Amino acid sequence: MTLLVMGGLGRGFALSFNEWPDQWRLSAIRISDLLMLASELDRPITRYLKCIKQKEWAEGEGVKFINVNGDYNFYCFWRQLNYQLVPRDLPVSNGSMIAISNDMVLPVREEVRNLVDRHVIQTVANSYSPAIRFGRYAYFKSMQGRPIYSSSLGHLRAGVLAGAVETPRGPSWLLVIPREGDEQIRHLLYEMWSGFIGLYDRLVIEVEALYPEATTDAIEIRLNFVELVVSEDYVEPQPGMVIGAPVVAVNLELRIAEVRFPSDFLMHFQQPENTGERLVLRAIANGLVSLHQGVTEGVDETVLDGLMNRVLGDSGMRILHLFRTYYPIEHLLSRQTQKPIFLAHEDFVFSKLRLSEGCTAARPGTSLATKSECNKFLHRVVDKIWCQIREQLRQLDRGSVIREVLRVHEAVIQNRGHWRRTAQAVLALYAPTEDVYAVAQERESDRNNVSLPARTILEMAICECPTAGGHQLSRWKLDELLAKAALLVEVAMDSDAVNSDLIEPRIGLHLNGEYDIDRGFHNTVIKPFLTAYFREGFEGAAGRYTKLYRDEHPAERTRADEVFSADFIRAFQVEFGLTPDEAVDGLAELMDLAVEFQNVVVETTLGDLKTRLSKTRGLSSEACEAFIRTFGIFHRPAWDKPPPGFRMKDIIPWRFRRRLSSTAKPILLFGEHDDDKVFFGAGALRLGFGYLLERSERGHLPQEFFISAEMKQYIGAVNSERGLEFARTVADQLRQIGWEVRNEVQMTELGAPAELGDVDVLAWKPTGEIQIIECKRLQLARTVAEVAEICRRFRGEAKDELDKHIQRINWIKGSPLGLQRVVGYSPDPDRIDDRLVTNTHVPMMYLSSLPIRPDKIGPLRDLPEE
């Protein structure tokens, strides 16, 4: 692509070239428009070039665009239509004509100018510095409306981090004095400046409210970290050691207050309390108050106390988090520096054009209205997308694809961990003005929308990409692959929804090749179900914040027989061919390899891997082979052909708990020879190991996941025992809040027929309240198919898992005297209540069609209290 940039102001231009090569793409743009474009968020130049490429493709297919105001005007048209290149009511073919207004640029300019708010701000030197809005990249939109601005290139060229808060009084600057140092120091200084400037504006507003007659000139707070010692290793505070506090020096003539930090100041951040944040903000407040009062010392401490309470009242407000770890791999994973890459919406939308072509005999503009027609169509669309992905993968170098996609996946894992570690601080900082849970869940949705496509591409690439002769994977092509994989998953889930009767089987076929289908079930059941589950997890992460600071030295290696039962160890060894201890040794060695390479994406050879496992960890050759086969996916000739012993359901990426997923098998092997390449991501391997070991031990994987009779028997037994244990836990909780309780009350004891089984938990109070409780220990549903399966099991229809509970309730309410022999009094049928208690959030909680009210379904915490 050749981008021709035209200078000048307010003048039109015309270009003509003789014999321009067909394979050379050209776009012309005014320099003012290019600068405006560059101010947008999220790789705008790349997005612009994609737009031009998509436009040329459509023109090649016969679509005519009437656009007299240049490529940037076309880009703005495309952007405002949410990247919809060809509307649904037009075919992508000859005869389609799209007229584009010549004023599409105006609303985009207004949006970008309001977002950036580029202007100049007075400095303490009485000069003016260009500035732009700080926080325009923030996930929390409230930051974009706050009067915080960052200085532009002038300060940055001098190595100064500078920002200002603009109020009606005037500008209040916050600067970090430059110092020598490596990338780690520069990153730390940026984190300090960018974090505290988000509190600085609150502080400035509070101080100015106390001193409304203060000077209107610019003032400046300088943070001086020149003496600060930044160590790669954790520095242990010594007993009786007094950690230094910042010192404030005020120059009234220059209107500058400098805060100088001692060398050991970072130790204040090595604790769960926000001591460090309070000291920094108090020193800044001291400087601000001094400048407003016109004094150099003697600021009233009660004034500072009041400011701290109003600005930093919540002890959870944190800016800098310094956790200690004794494990080098945790340090490596936490400082993984690649920014997460999210799904490129413009590629996702573009990949839908002409999607239905060749997948149905029905004409565009009509509808498919039977379950059979819809499923047949969606299956063909899935096959079509898979063929497109396969064609692209066969042109790309295998190592290049796996290396880059692993980086994407590792960045997502690191980003998710960062949000969980800082959940308490995020809630404290932003909850007063924003729905933090909604923002955090949107971010999690962004991660999920790219992590599953990334894993899908990894599983396909190990089979389909050539080891030699292929092209290197570009970021542009990476975006396309991820978008197509995401579309593949979306279409397949639509098929699952139709097949499971979750939605009406009706598909509208649009002229541009797209289709639409009713996804209302997602909004009424799946979305609120996942929202509640995410909120619970996010609150749990916030509540665990203090545990991150526990100074616990690692104990000696715990043996498997000290943690797991003998039954599990035996079943694990029969199933996988190695003991849990040998599996842990294998994982530890691969984590050490990542630390040795100082890279979360590890590339080695099968021979080197076997050598390390045998020589360093002492694994036998049989154990080495078993470890690699347990946690590895080997190259095979075709992704869509399962290897012997596996089924199609083991490879399709829109299903969870698959035996051939890169979650359960995160090591990717090019072959079985010693010189064949091996790739793995350290974060994915650690998660995958935990996934297999912990879920197997807890019975969270279905029996069909395993092949040995021993493991299947163990899974059945542990689920039966833990189901009974769950019912006992429910009973214990009820006792704690004042109920009389019995477990496993046989219906025959109440006078009912034996086929009605038993009541898991019967609870009552002397005051007459009675609870009939069915307990279900269920797996978290993660996909449309899993949600549909749980809903199918609990519809309250004949012989399903809810039906027996409903039958028991109806019998008991119809014959309440049967309870008298248990509760000791004659019960009132109107005071007999029932519940379905689950161990996790379940989609039935959001169904209105069940014979039991949704508010009577849910986890333990929703049980009635005294």
User: What pLDDT, in 10s, does the model give residues 334-370?
Assistant: 876 778 999 999 999 999 999 999 999 999 999 999 9
Q: To which residue do tokens 């035209």 refer?
A: 6
Residue 774: which H helix or E strand, with range? strand 770-776
pLDDT one-digit tens code per residue, 805-836: 999 999 999 999 999 989 999 999 999 999 99
Examine the pLDDT at 642 and tell me if it is beyond 60.
Answer: yes
The percent of residues in the chain predicted with pLDDT above 90, rounded, is: 71
Give the Cα separation of 383 and 386 in Å (integer): 5
pLDDT at 443: 94
Amino acid letter for position 237: P
> What is residue 153's predicted lDDT score, i.e. its pLDDT?
66
pLDDT attached to residue 323: 83
Between 21 and 44, name the one with better pLDDT: 44
Edge to edge, what strands does the sheet with 758-764 contain? 740-746, 758-764, 770-776, 832-838, 857-858
- Per residue in 690-720, pLDDT (tens digit) is 999 999 999 988 899 999 999 999 999 999 9
Distances (CA, A) of 455 to 605, 680, 706: 21, 12, 22
CA distances from 677 to 119, 398, 430, 593, 822 (A): 54, 10, 46, 15, 68
The confidence band for 758, taking pLDDT boundaries of 50, 70 and 90, is very high
Q: Which of 263-272, 285-294, 521-530, 856-865 has the lowest mean pLDDT?
A: 856-865
pTM of the model: 0.91
What CA–CA distance (Å, rounded) separates 61 from 514?
Answer: 16
The pLDDT of residue 741: 95
pLDDT tens digit sequence for 154-191? 677 777 899 999 999 999 999 998 888 777 888 889 99
- pLDDT of 865 higher than 60: no
What integer pLDDT is reported at residue 555 of this predicted model? Answer: 67
What mean pLDDT comes out for the span 427-448? 90
∠ Cα 722 728 733 (to 5°) = 125
CA 234 to mean position of chain CA atoms: 29
Find the mean pLDDT for residues 628-639.
97
Average pLDDT over residues 226-250: 84
Position 632 scores a pLDDT of: 97
Question: How many of the other CB atoms lie within 10 Å of CB of 254?
Answer: 12
Q: Which residue has the tokens 């495309």?
A: 78
653-667 per-position pLDDT tens digit = 988 889 999 999 999
The pLDDT value recorded for residue 786 is: 77
The per-residue pLDDT of the chain, averaged, comes to 91
H-helix or E-strand containing 328? Answer: helix 328-334
Residue 771: strand, helix, or coil: strand
Q: Is the pLDDT of residue 556 over 80?
A: no
- Distance (Å, whole) CA 500 – CA 787: 9
Cβ-count burial of 631 within 10 angstroms (0-12 exposed, 13-18 middle, 19+ buried)?
A: buried
Specify whether the CB–CB gap between 238 and 512 falls below 8 A: no
CA distance 866 to 739: 8
Tokens representing residue 233 in the block: 């290793």
Q: Which of 416-430, 563-577, 612-626, 846-860 has the lowest mean pLDDT?
A: 846-860
State the Cα–Cα distance between residues 161 and 193, nearest whole angstrom. Answer: 7
Q: Average pLDDT in the 51-60 region? A: 95
Q: What is the DSSP string of 243-294?
A: ----EEEEETTTTEEEEEPPTTGGGGGSSSS-HHHHHHHHHHHHHHHHHHHT
Contacts of residue 471, defined as CB under 8 A and 6 or more positions apart, other chains included, come to: 395, 396, 397, 400, 477
3-state secondary structure of 237: coil
Strands 148-151 and 161-166 come out as antiparallel
- pLDDT at position 863: 53
CA distances from 201 to 69, 139, 470, 705 (A): 42, 18, 53, 55
Q: Greater confidence, 796 or 526? A: 526
Residue 260 has pLDDT above 70, yes or no: yes
Local structure of 198: helix, strand or coil: helix
Question: Across residues 479-492, what is the average pLDDT?
Answer: 97
Residue 319 in this model has a pLDDT that exceeds 60:
yes
- Helix/strand/coil (H/E/C) assignment for every residue in 205-217: HHHHHHCCCCCCC
Please count the other Cβ atoms lying within 10 Å of the Cβ belonging to residue 369.
Answer: 13
Contacts 24+ apart (CB under 8 A), 730-735: 730/760, 730/761, 730/773, 730/775, 730/837, 730/860, 730/863, 731/761, 731/763, 733/860, 733/863, 734/761, 734/763, 734/771, 734/863
- Going by their DSSP bridges, the two strands 832-838 and 857-858 should be labelled as parallel
Q: What is the DSSP letter of 858?
A: E
* Average pLDDT score over residue span 514-543: 89
Report the DSSP pairing between strands 677-681 and 515-517: unpaired
